[in-house]
Structure 1
Amino acid sequence: MMTISDAGNDLEAARSAFYHRLKDRNMSALWTVLHDLVPRAPRRDQMAASWAYADIRRTLMEAGELITAKEAERRALILENPAWPGESRITPTLYAAIQLVLPGDVAPAHRHTQSALRFVLEGSGAFTAVNGERTFMERGDFVITPNWAWHDHGNDSDVPMIWLDGLDIPLVSFMNVGFSEPGEADRQAVTKPAQDAPARFGSGLLPVDYEASAYSTSPIFNYPYARSRAALEQLRVADVYDACHGIKQKYVHPATGDFAMPTIATFLQLLPRDFDTHPYRSTDSTVFVVVEGRGHSMIGDQRFDWGPNDLFVLPTWTKVTHHPAEDAVLFSYSDRGIQQKLGLWREDRFEELRT
């Protein structure tokens, strides 16, 4: 038998034969893959990328002429990370798509185990219904569909509604726990009065016996932009800014103070004009939507210029700086919440550069 004291081609041939026999036995040698399994830092296979809203909108309106909302079930265009074409993911764990609901459209009721968010990019007056309650949506509103909650969308207004869909589809697919179910009718029955959830949970009060379950989704399913934007403006008065983020707030569950969604963390931040942020990176790759303002971001050594409704994705553990040319507001979402619960989240604020 060949031993490690032997050298040369004979040893290489013996190793190759050994690895081949392992493969036949559905085994492999740890030492041949150890550095891939336990890397020194996150892999860099994901790519930074951006999407111009003007181009997205033109393509969406073309889709609106080709297929109805009912035929498509959801008339949406998926934003794919260029590193993973055809895989329907924008980050390792998250999905992004832009959905069009034209006047008169009904996106039929269904439910699924994937959690979903909507962030309204254009239009006013369309609704989404979640578990028997409707909420009407305005630009900048952040709307939640909890996992396994019945939901449908409709547009009784006279203008198109366009929003971002963010879901944890890749995460749920990885765990192979995807389930879905169609509704019995296109529109679910409305069983709760308008503004029921905000009254019960969003006014600084909670039902006396309400207890949030572990890792529950916020019972408030519409966070209106007008209120969130006013809060950012009030915080501006204090003139206290984080060097890496400007003024950045997270959307929270009113009963727990945790992120509003268990698997998707969501944020809104204000960057004043000419506020160049300090370098920053973190382990949660993040999808950004420009709500207001113009400027650019440096992701690694790449420059991405942006304006209202443009989108860009920041890969895992990649240095970023933001450079607003005017007051800017950014909405973003990532898997930071679940990373923190698992004790995996990490950030680097490059403090050594500022000492």
Structure 2
Amino acid sequence: MNAPHPLPAARRQLYDEMAPLHLTPLWEVLHALVPPAPRSPCVPVHWQYDAVRPFLMRSGELISAEEAVRRVLILENPALRGQSAATQSLYAGLQLILPGEVAPAHRHTQSALRFIVEGSGAYTAVDGERTTMRPGDFIITPSWAWHDHGSDADGPVVWLDGLDIPMIRFFDAGFAENGASRSQAVTQPEGTSFARYGHNMAPVRHEAPFGATSPIFSYPYDRSREALDTLERSAPIDAWDGVKLRYVNPQTGGSPMPTMATFMQRIPPGFAGKPWRQTDGAVYSVVEGTGTAVVEGPSGSHSFTLSPRDHFVVPSWHTARFASEGGCVLFSYSDRPVQQALGIHREERLS
């Protein structure tokens, strides 16, 4: 009978003896650290608004917007429970504000987007300017900019909060500060920033008010929808995306925020899209219409039946395809600008 080979035992002894020095052998973990292809721990997930909304309304009965600072239900990926993350780099949550409430002023390093889901008449104030919220509007809170929210509406207003919280946490670069007053002073009329920068023009003498973030902090849905409608009627329909546009920073032509890209797309009636995958995992909000999203990855195939105000996640390097009998509109955001800046973004359009 052959004696046990001494090598495995000697290796185990080596590992045990060097562990107190906080050393670990690369060869034991190399394939996990440098995989042949992305293998995200995130899973596809779908939040049906009709199921989520009652919990939002109940939270409105139990805690005020001012007491909570931000009354939000986090959309947490089931595979990342406890991390307040929809993907490994992105946060998503649904925020509720009720008539007469104020969510007090503060600022933070994290960049934020607001995508209005339900109700009209609430407002966000950024850098002394207010913008009124309407369904489908995309609003930016730039990094380290004072902002507060309030409502003059007759009913509840709900919006999707998208932030780069997990990304900033990864870099250990988060700061925050509360304002001295509940609401910041309004110093310029509503629409001022759009008048300055939203018409393919800019003031002759100006500096970027928010650094690398777009100087437009409110992108109205009616303009976005008009652009999609025009292209759906007059331009070729993309076999993978339908009609998809990206929001831009008018000063640079790049993404509105340095860490998050935002998109709006129209899935035309009768569309059955081809599959695609990309390294930037994305969070989606169904603006209007109905459709289906099929997302496939290591956890299997997931088919989501989409209705207005639903939200869902397509994780990194998962194959997805969209279809709709009657047509629908989707808003989405991802960490694409960071991946592009690092030169690691990859996309495949499959047939």
Structure 1 residue 44, shift from structure 2 partner = 3.3
Using the alignment, how far apart are the partners of 1:251 and 1:336 within structure 2? 12
Superposed structure 1 runs of 4+ greater than 4 Å apart: 211-215
2:256 to 256, 260, 285: 260
Cα RMSD after superposing both structures: 1.5
Using the alignment, how far apart are the partners of 2:136 and 2:155 within structure 1? 16
1:43 aligned partner: 39
Unaligned ranges ≥5, structure 1: 1-6
Q: Does 1:181 align with 2:204?
A: no
Q: Does 1:80 align with 2:111?
A: no
2:281 to 280, 285, 292: 285
Unaligned ranges ≥5, structure 2: none
Using the alignment, how far apart are the partners of 2:51 and 2:249 within structure 1? 35
1:208 aligned partner: 204
2:30 to 34, 42, 57: 34
Using the alignment, how far apart are the partners of 1:183 and 1:214 within structure 2? 18
Using the alignment, how far apart are the partners of 2:136 and 2:245 within structure 1? 15
Q: Does 1:345 align with 2:341?
A: no
Summarize the Cα distance change of 1:200–1:270 in structure 2 as closer, same or farther, 3 Å threshold.
same
2:305 aligned partner: 305
Amino acid paired to 1:124: S
Using the alignment, how far apart are the partners of 1:275 and 1:67 within structure 2? 43
TM-score between the two structures when normalised by the length of structure 1: 0.95
Using the alignment, how far apart are the partners of 1:130 and 1:286 within structure 2? 26
TM-score between the two structures when normalised by the length of structure 2: 0.96
Amino acid paired to 1:152: D
Deviations 1:131-153 (A, max 9, x none): 11101110000000000000000
Amino acid paired to 1:142: F
SS in 2 for 1:181: strand
Matched length: 346
SS in 1 for 2:22: coil
SS in 1 for 2:248: coil
2:225 aligned partner: 229
Matched ranges for 1:156-175 at <5 A: 156-175=152-171
Using the alignment, how far apart are the partners of 2:13 and 2:169 within structure 1? 36
Matched ranges for 1:183-202 at <5 A: 183-202=179-198
Structure 1 residue 210, shift from structure 2 partner = 3.2
2:336 aligned partner: 336
Amino acid paired to 1:185: S
SS in 1 for 2:50: helix
Contact 1:94 1:166 in 2 (8 A): yes
Amino acid paired to 2:219: Y
Deviations 1:263-297 (A, max 9, x none): 01100001101111101000000111110111111
Q: Does 1:93 align with 2:64?
A: no
Using the alignment, how far apart are the partners of 2:81 and 2:5 within structure 1? 41
Structure 1 residue 56, shift from structure 2 partner = 1.4
